């Protein structure tokens, strides 16, 4: 156990503020730095694309898939950061007249998520400049945010911790296993994680704090709502896997027959389920916090739901 874990909550919020100030970055000056994307590079590493699942594609086509998925990465983060920011602003009210370190930490968290949304809009446009026309991402971030925020805070914080922890997995995949990945996209992973690592600490603090006020019945309902949220995320991933597979078939430069299309679309879905659900759910930290809050039976319900998403 690290020293940080044993600190009182107020000090953990204060440390998060310090770290947030220390790592703070600017979209243009630190991340983009006047660069453009080059289609000679992969945008997402093989370890996130799960490139081996695209069994019928050539190496160049797999690279194109990684570029499509890079654009979808920007769009998915733009989407989830809309509801994450709204929830953080809502939670900040509970600290207005309380712990001012907690308030400052959440204000910075919100400010960073607004910046991240701007970064990902920029990345979406920059990828759009170098890929063929016809890409579609038609899921409305505000509609999704309204639906997500209709669930309990406990469930939303569980999903948020899962998401914010997996940015670390994504960063580690980008530096460890794949030397052909775009340096610019590697920096997106790196700089995003630098700020997300504070967010994950704050998610945990807020989740545990909120959990203390719940009755057993409320928590049991919240577990079901978390499962419903994961299923809703999966619905988004299914729609985007279909759209991205169709875009690939239309723009890859050769005829993709019906049988091959039936293989490519599930491969996209497999990538997205790994990127946006399992890579966070399998993080030891996520499992540790979750299991400290729920019963074994509730944990089995969650595991059974996750197991259907393969």
Rule CB under 5 A: which residues touch Fe ion? 116, 164, 196, 199
Contact 207, 157 (CB under 8 A): yes
CB of 300 vs Fe ion, minimal distance in Å: 29
Compute the least distance from the CB of residue 279 to Fe ion, in Å: 15
The span from the CA of 63 to the CA of 139, in Å, is: 25
CA 264 remoteness from chain centre: 23
Identify which of residues 108 and 199 has a Cβ nearer to Fe ion in the complex.
Answer: 199
Residue 117 Cβ vs Fe ion, minimum distance, rounded to whole Å: 8
Instruction: Give least dist CB 108 to Fe ion, A.
Output: 11
Q: How far is the CB of 113 from Fe ion (least distance, A)?
A: 5
Nearer to Fe ion, 44 or 243 (CB): 44
CB 196 within 8 A of CB 167: yes
Query: What is the C-alpha to C-alpha distance for residues 100 and 224, in angstroms, rounded to an integer?
Result: 33
- Is 277 in contact with 201 (CB distance < 8 Å)? no
Give the residue with the Cβ less far from Fe ion, 161 or 302: 161
Provide the phi-psi class of 283: left if phi over 0, else alpha when psi is between -120 and 50, else beta. beta
Q: What is the three-class DSSP state of 236?
A: helix
CB of 84 to Fe ion, least distance (A): 6
For Fe ion, the closer CB: 25 or 301? 25
CB of 295 to Fe ion, least distance (A): 29
Question: 46-49 long-range CB contacts below 8 Å, 24 or more apart?
Answer: 46/177, 46/178, 47/173, 47/176, 47/177, 47/178, 48/170, 48/173, 48/174, 48/271, 48/274, 48/275, 48/279, 49/271
Nearer to Fe ion, 101 or 116 (CB): 116
Backbone angles phi, psi at 139, to 5 degrees: -90, 130
Q: Which is nearer to Fe ion, 73 or 247 (CB)?
A: 73
- Closer to Fe ion at the Cβ: 54 or 166? 166
Residue 28 carries which DSSP code?
I
């Amino acid at each position: 156990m690290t020293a940080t874990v044993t600190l009182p909550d107020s000090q953990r919020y204060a440390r998060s503020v310090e770290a947030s100030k220390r790592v703070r970055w600017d979209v243009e000056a630190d991340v983009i730095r006047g660069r453009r994307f080059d289609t000679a590079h992969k945008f997402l590493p093989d370890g996130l694309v799960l490139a081996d699942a695209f069994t019928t594609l050539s190496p160049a086509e797999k690279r194109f898939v990684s570029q499509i998925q890079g654009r979808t990465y920007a769009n998915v983060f733009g989407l989830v950061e809309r509801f994450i920011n709204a929830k953080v602003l809502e939670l900040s009210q509970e600290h207005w007249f309380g712990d001012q370190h907690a308030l400052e930490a959440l204000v910075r968290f919100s400010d960073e998520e607004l910046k991240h949304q701007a970064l990902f809009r920029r990345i979406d446009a920059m990828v759009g400049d170098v890929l063929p026309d016809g890409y579609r991402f038609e899921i409305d971030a505000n509609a999704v945010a309204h639906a997500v925020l209709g669930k309990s805070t406990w469930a939303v914080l569980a999903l948020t911790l899962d998401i914010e922890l997996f940015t670390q997995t994504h960063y580690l995949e980008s530096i460890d296993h794949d030397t052909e990945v775009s340096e610019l996209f590697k920096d997106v992973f790196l700089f995003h994680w630098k700020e997300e690592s504070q967010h994950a600490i704050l998610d945990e603090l807020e989740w545990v704090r909120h959990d203390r006020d719940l009755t057993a019945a409320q928590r049991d309902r919240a577990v079901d709502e978390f499962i419903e949220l994961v299923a809703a995320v999966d619905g988004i991933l299914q729609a985007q896997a279909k759209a991205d597979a169709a875009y690939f078939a239309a723009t890859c430069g050769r005829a993709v027959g019906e049988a091959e299309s039936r293989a490519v679309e599930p491969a996209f879905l497999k990538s997205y389920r790994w990127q946006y659900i399992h890579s966070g759910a399998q993080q030891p930290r996520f499992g540790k916090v979750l299991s400290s809050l729920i019963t074994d039976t509730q944990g089995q319900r969650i595991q059974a739901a996750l197991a259907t998403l393969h």
